[in-house]
Chain A
Amino acid sequence: MPEISELLAQMSDDSPRGTSELMARVYHELHRLAAAYMRRERRDHTLQTTALVHEAYLRLVGQRDIAWKNREHFFGVAAQMMRRILVDHARAHLCRRRGGPQQRVSLDEVGISPRTHSADLVALDEALTRLAQIDARQARVVELRFFGGLTAEETAKTLAVSTKTVNRDWLVAKAWLHAEIAERK
């Protein structure tokens, strides 16, 4: 298996093989990290997804300087992974609950905590999947910004579009998703 940096370089050439290998590696690493964090369960410890992804990045590509483009690509992939991990976790959490109505919380407070907001996260994920069928890039913007914690500029670089485009996609997406989720509740 080639080095992560090679895979990243391949990714930028849009080589599908590179992408899937990279994704597999990244997923494995992120999942491991996420699981480790979750197990620790320290009371005052707030895990940030961005911190998690950054840590995975460091572990996977080491301390060497990677070209800016590749770093963005990494985060792009990582964002995708994070989404999967978080949603899987949320689904699993929902399964564990005995039933009873989920507490309705305003969508604006997306400080999602397992106790009350797993359902929201799952709903978001599903809505995002539907959005992807209409506009794949737009869904990607949401994924990168929300799950990956990238700024608008970073997102633009990753997707090779303008920041303006990203911002527009983002605003529209928020409205659309909000409507979708509210509707299904």
Chain B
Amino acid sequence: MIVDGDNLIVSCDEAQDEIEELYDFIKPRLEYIDSITVETDVKLASSLLLQLLVSIKKSKPSMQITVLDGGVHESKFYGTMHWSHL
């Protein structure tokens, strides 16, 4: 996880304990973060990351999250990824 101003950069291969760190970090700072960039050039290590990102989006719909915005994401590992209930 890298904090770059009001943008947060996370990688898809974050393990569950790293995702927990992200969860702990972001929860009290939600209003200060405007966007989250998800690096998708690696395989997804845990689907926990995606559900956390969705939860963040549901808490703050204006949050820009690269992988989720657009409703569909093209992944070289997982084909066309469709999200519902964002």
Do A and B associate with each other?
no
- Interface residues of chain B, those whose CB is within 8 Å of chain A, are none
- Interface residues of chain A, those whose CB is within 8 Å of chain B, are none
